[in-house]
Amino acid sequence: MPDHDVATQDVVIVGGGFGGIAAGVKLTKAGIDSFTIFEKSGGIGGTWWDNTYPGAEVDVASHLYSYSFKRNDWTRTHARQAELQRYLEEVVDEHDLRRHFRLNTAVEGAEWDEGTHTYTVHLRDGGRVRCRVLISAVGLLNHVNYPTWPGLEDFEGPKFHTSRWEHQHDLTGKRVAVVGTGSTAVQLVPEIAPIVERLCVFQREPGWIVPKGERDFSPEERATLRRPLQRRRERMKKFYLLEKGVWGGAVYKPGTKVNTLREQQCRAYIARELGDRPELQEAVTPTYPYPGKRPIFHSTFYSVLKRDNVELVPKAVASVTPHGIVDVDGVEHEIDILVIATGFTASRYLAELEVTGVGGRTIHEAWADEPYAFLGLTVPGFPNFFMLYGPNTNGGEIVFFLERQSEYAVRVLKRIKRGRVTAVEVKRSWTDAYNRWLQKRMRGTSWEECRNYFTAPSGRIVTQWPYGALLYGLLTKTLGPLSETGRRAAGRARTAPAPGAVTERV
């Protein structure tokens, strides 16, 4: 089938998690119905569909980690995976988005056509679809960081990554190894420790842990929070506390009052929980300044390490044998099941999506291993293309960010639909100035002083946003129209034609 037979939609959204759903809702509210959300997994939810390991829950207060347009009767201070999944399902149904989804459909790439000012989107199943605006909502933590330990393939027991949990394996009474002590492992370990025979937790480097206070709401609390005013107050309170904690970015800079206080609180928490176990206390105390790596929020991990059947191995993995793990000191630990909690390659933006822009240049060629964007959203040379949770937008209240980013993309689409322009692109001068300012703000932060997933191979910090959500939202509202330029495809009428909504194979 020739390309001219492929119907053109207004929007293609890649990813069906919090970001893709937010974009879908914002489009619907704007009266735009011509869009498709492609999701490679078998269900909606993104990270909350993929990550079903025991104990999976959000680190942000439930009433804050939710859309502004959708309230919920949360059962916990910090919602767990199943509850978040139900919440997203309800949003999809309430806004009639299910008909826009195509599940089990991976997008491999997209190419800009300068003649028509559209993208041709290539699907893994061989299909294509053309769109005026392309939105990447693949998220930050989506490309699994699989280890390359020698002998891993020879291990004879079950082995799997936490983000691809294999529920058919019963851990009861088994010798289990969890490799990693990041946010995922810290949630997982307290859940499985009571049922396994023995649990070895391998820690290459400790993280700073902040007590989260996670718990179920009482029936009385839930009744109170069902009231619209009380729920709004709770949401505003949590938002204020989060903004206050990162105001001015001082918390990320060692030596500042707020940074010193936060590190002291973490050290006091270690002493309180492990004061009677000096060897554990030393092993879990980071040697780099707070926060350095992603802070971990949990309230029971330290106490679980004191169980008789739990062993913290503060060593990196050197290799794997058919029946165990060998640490860097050469000691082999025999196990039955290997759980890999090594996280994601967060700094490799669009690792599974290749976007080709003006002149046939791909976005990875433009980045040259240093991802950047204006407001984390758009890149010169890639008109009508927007990233949700893109470069340097990690660190604030993410759902707030996703809503603002979705609104930014919808604003541009509405400008295109008015018919005066068919392509909108951010100016190179604005992008360069913005990123010079942003990287200057990174100087002196603890992120520069340790190994983390925030940096590109060059050392440039490519994932983090050093301030709060309010400033970011203000910038998206005010700088967008000033920073962009529009043009019309040669021969295109000023009034945009009514788009089709059919996806066809070619």
Q: Tell me the per-residue pLDDT of 211-230, one tens digit each, with 9 for 90 and over.
A: 999 999 999 999 999 999 99
* Per-residue tokens: 492: 């295109």
Per-residue model confidence (pLDDT) at position 142:
79
355 and 318 inside one domain = no
Domain boundary among 290, 314, 340: 340
Say yes or no: 165 and 295 in one domain: yes
Classify burial at 250, counting beta carbons within 10 Å of its beta carbon; exposed 0-12, middle 13-18, buried 19 or more. Answer: middle
Give the mean model confidence (pLDDT) for residues 180-201: 98
Q: Is this structure's pTM higher than 0.85?
A: yes
Q: Which domain holds residue 53?
A: 3-143+346-505
Question: Which range among 212-216, 351-355, 408-412, 502-506 shows the weakest confidence by mean pLDDT?
Answer: 502-506
pLDDT at 395: 87
188/317 Cα distance (integer angstroms): 19
Strands of 52-126, DSSP E: 101-102, 107-113, 118-123
Write down the pLDDT at residue 492.
61
Q: What is the pLDDT of residues 276-311, one digit of tens each?
A: 999 999 999 999 999 999 999 999 999 999 999 999
Which of the two residues, 170 and 453, has the higher pLDDT score? 170
121 neighbors 102 (Cβ within 8 angstroms): no
Number of domains in the chain: 2
Q: Are residues 279 and 376 in the same domain?
A: no
Q: Which pLDDT score, from 0 to 100, does residue 1 have?
A: 38
Task: Give the pLDDT confidence score for residue 504 in this predicted structure.
Answer: 30
Same domain for 273 and 306, yes or no, is: yes
Judge whether 381 and 358 are in contact, CB under 8 Å.
yes
- Whether the pLDDT of residue 4 is over 60: the answer is no
Per-residue pLDDT reduced to its tens digit, 413-462: 999 999 999 999 999 999 999 999 999 999 999 999 888 999 998 899 99
> Is the domain of 403 the same as that of 295?
no
372 confidence band (pLDDT: 50, 70, 90)? very high
Residues 300, 362: one domain? Answer: no
Does one domain contain both 135 and 159?
no
Residue 7 phi/psi, 5-degree rounding, is: -65, 150
Question: For residue 221, what are its two tokens?
Answer: 């609390």
For residue 174, pLDDT beyond 90: yes
- Token pair for residue 152? 């891993």
Q: Would the pLDDT of 121 be above 70?
A: yes
Give the CATH number for residue 322: 3.50.50.60
Looking at 313, 340, 367, the residue that finishes a domain is: 340
468 with 377, same domain?
yes
Quick one: pLDDT band at residue 161, thresholds 50, 70, 90? Answer: very high
Residue with tokens 């826009």: 100
Q: What one-letter code names the amino acid at 410?
A: V
Using the predicted structure, report yes or no on whether residue 501 has a pLDDT greater than 70.
Answer: no
**310 lies in the same domain as 171:** yes
The pLDDT, as a whole number, for residue 3 is: 53
Same domain for 107 and 251, yes or no, is: no
For residue 499, what pLDDT is reported? Answer: 42
* In contact, 38 and 66? CB cutoff 8 Å: no
- The pLDDT of residue 5: 53
Q: How many whole angstroms separate alpha carbon 405 and alpha carbon 428? A: 19
Question: From CA 440, how far away is CA 174, in angstroms rounded?
Answer: 50
Q: Which of 304, 324, 340 is a domain's end point?
A: 340
Cα 370 from Cα 162, distance rounded (Å): 28
Q: Which amino acid is at 297?
A: F
**Chain-wide mean pLDDT for the chain?**
94
Dihedral of CA atoms 342, 22, 376, 180 in degrees, nearest 10, equals: -10
Same domain, 461 and 379: yes
**Residues 336 and 351 occupy one common structural domain:** no
